Amino acid sequence: MPTVSSEELAAAAGVNSAKLRKDFSYLGSYGTRGVGYDVEYLVYQISRELGLTQDWPVVIVGIGNLGAALANYGGFASRGFRVAALIDADPAMAGKPVAGIPVQHTDDLEKIIDENGVSIGVIATPAGAAQPVCDRLVAAGVTSILNFAPTVLSVPDGVDVRKVDLSIELQILAFHEQRKAGEEAEAQAGAAAPAERGDQGEGPDGDVPAVMPA
């Protein structure tokens, strides 16, 4: 039975082993003291808890540059997501296949959501169309939305929205970049450079805490 210790996993992930064990403990006691965790069983338990064991039908609305790229992306299927339908407002696109899936017109949005039992929608329309599209998706029964349009969406309680803003990603990089330059210039001033985070910035998260003094 292949096993891994929390120490090994923690080292590989670059985190503290105690935290990793405590996190696992929320799923139950799946480890064996003196041995570690059964890899296969652990993978299954985590997958199940994260919802990776079921497959989720997803619709993409707005099949332009970005929407088409998303439709073509094979990485979703491997994580349990299935592109159930592509929707666009442009009549010229209706019926035209993108990534092997025929694009359907916005008029049928409600029907498509309903027939496919979709609860997750991706919005890749221009900013102006995002809120109206969002409203229709929600009204049709979608309760989770991934929004690429540069707009803050208003949704009722119970609906989750995640916004992906690529400009902000670049801004965060630029912020650190600017800071690097500043530190070099001040390197002669004696003060040591502050500790740098070494992670792979999983998203535009709790970053950028301290700011340089005036």
Ligand X SMILES: NC(=O)c1ccc[n+]([C@@H]2O[C@H](COP(=O)([O-])OP(=O)(O)OC[C@H]3O[C@@H](n4cnc5c(N)ncnc54)[C@H](O)[C@@H]3O)[C@@H](O)[C@H]2O)c1
Partner DNA sequence: ATGTCTTTGTGAACGCGTGCACAAAGATGG
Partner DNA sequence: CCATCTTTGTGCACGCGTTCACAAAGACAT
Interface pick for ligand X out of 4, 10, 99, 129 (rule CB under 6 A): 129
> Quick one: 24 or 148, whose CB is closer to DNA?
24
Position 101 contacts its own copies (CB under 8 A): no
106 binds, among ligand X, its own copies, DNA, none (CB under 5 to 8 A by kind): ligand X
How far is it, in rounded angstroms, from Cα 88 to Cα 124?
10
How far is it, in rounded angstroms, from Cα 36 to Cα 6?
7
Q: Compute the least distance from the CB of residue 152 to its own copies, in Å.
A: 6
How far is it, in rounded angstroms, from Cα 66 to Cα 80?
21
How far is it, in rounded angstroms, from Cα 80 to Cα 83?
10
Question: Residue 104 in contact with residue 86, Cβ under 8 Å?
Answer: yes
Interface pick for DNA out of 12, 189, 192, 210 (rule CB under 7 A): 210
88 binds, among DNA, its own copies, ligand X, none (CB under 5 to 8 A by kind): ligand X
Interface pick for its own copies out of 7, 40, 115, 169 (rule CB under 8 A): 169
**Identity (one letter) of the amino acid at 62?**
G
Interface pick for its own copies out of 73, 95, 102, 186 (rule CB under 8 A): 73
Q: Are strands 101-105 and 81-88 parallel, antiparallel or unpaired?
A: parallel
Position 131 contacts ligand X (CB under 6 A): no
Question: Residue 109 in contact with residue 136, Cβ under 8 Å?
Answer: yes
Position 196 contacts its own copies (CB under 8 A): yes
Q: Are strands 3-4 and 36-38 parallel, antiparallel or unpaired?
A: antiparallel
Q: Which residues bind DNA (CB under 7 A)?
A: 4-7, 15-19, 21-22, 24-25, 29-37, 206, 209-210
